[in-house]
Amino acid sequence: MASTIAVAKKEAERTTVLGYASRLSAYANRGVTGLPELHDNARVLKTKLKTLKALVQAASNVVALTGAGISVAAGIPDFRGPQGIWTLEDKAKREGDKRKKRKKNKIESVDTSIAGASFETAEPTKTHLALVALQKAGKLSFCATQNVDRLHITSGMPRDRLAILHGCVFTEQCETCDYEVVHDRDLGGVSFQSTGNLCPRCGDNMRDTVLDWNDGIQDQEWEASVS
């Protein structure tokens, strides 16, 4: 029974940001975690939005760079925020590993709250959709993202207007011709591992696209984002 629950928990976490984080190599330079979020009051927020609107309307070329924060509203935790993956991990370390003190034969419930929503079921947020609306209106010329969650793709952002800098857990790419396939499931890879699939176009090996800490941004993504 306990082993069945453990398997269920592992599978539930696999497709979340916790599963993604667990694939990455150990990384000591996490920076400061758990800093509080700052919120503007209604008056300040309205003033800032008015200024932003004016800047966008006056601009001839608008480019967006997005990170983990844009997907928090979709239920996908960030890393360093108040409820971020690293924040909660650091907190657990400070408090001590309570699970080690539990009896081995005690059956634990499946608690995936730290992991957040599954990448596979998360939906684009209002911010993702607003960026697509700006692109369709001719105001946003390009979007570069550090996220691996596919939400910019499912929101409708054209791929030729999008640079996915850190790769995507749903995407595999041909090692020879760069042909790309986006799946409905998390492929579970990192650092350009072979997916076991063959390229539909040239027949060569397909590899995952997710970067590990020491991997460089793929040339085509970097060049698109700076051109």
Which active-site residues does the annotation give?
A: 166
Residue reference for tokens 């979007």: 143
Distance CA 213, CA 95 (A): 27
Distance CA 135, CA 218 (A): 24
Residue reference for tokens 């503007």: 40
- Left, alpha or beta for 66 (phi > 0: left; psi -120 to 50: alpha)? beta
Distance of CA 27 to the CA centre of its chain: 17
Decide the pairing of beta strands 171-174 and 205-208: antiparallel
Nearest CA among 188, 6, 182 for reference residue 107? 6
Angle at 122 (CA atoms; ends 26, 192), nearest 5 degrees? 40
Which residues sit opposite 142 in a β-bridge?
A: 63
Which residues sit opposite 64 in a β-bridge?
A: 143
Residue reference for tokens 């001839």: 60
Nearest CA among 208, 145, 207 for reference residue 176? 207
